[in-house]
């Protein structure tokens, strides 16, 4: 869980460089808001970074406080 907490710390600092260290080149990130019924999916590091940058710009005080996460293989939910 140390890695999950490090990811959470990076998200709460809005540190895109630190966040992206945890993502593989072929990663994807599903965001709860977006044009599709499920939100929006970003595929690839560049798209994920841009999606997160947009989120942080739109919600500059966003903070992730719930540290309950599930890990399955190389996926964190």
Q: Residue 70: which H helix or E strand, with range?
A: none
Residue of 19, 45, 51, 15 whose CA lies nearest to 33: 51
What local confidence, expressed as pLDDT, does residue 38 receive? 85
pTM exceeds 0.75, yes or no: yes
Instruction: Say if CB 35 and CB 41 are below 8 A apart.
Output: no
d(C-alpha 34, C-alpha 40), whole Å: 5
What pLDDT is attached to residue 70?
62
In the chain, domain spans: 2-76
| CATH numeric code, 2-76 | 3.10.450.50
For β-strands 28-36 and 39-43, DSSP reports them as antiparallel
Per residue of the chain (77 residues), give pLDDT as tens: 588 888 889 999 999 999 999 999 999 999 888 888 889 999 999 999 999 999 999 888 888 776 666 666 766 66
The 10 Å Cβ neighbour count of residue 11 is: 19
């Amino acid at each position: 869980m140390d890695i999950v907490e490090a990811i959470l710390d990076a998200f709460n600092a809005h540190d895109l460089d630190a966040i992206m260290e945890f993502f593989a080149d072929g990663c994807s990130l599903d965001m709860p808001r977006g044009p599709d019924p499920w939100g929006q999916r970003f595929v690839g590091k560049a798209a994920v970074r841009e999606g997160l940058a947009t989120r942080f710009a739109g919600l500059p005080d966003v903070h992730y406080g719930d540290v309950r996460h599930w890990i399955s293989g190389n996926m964190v939910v």
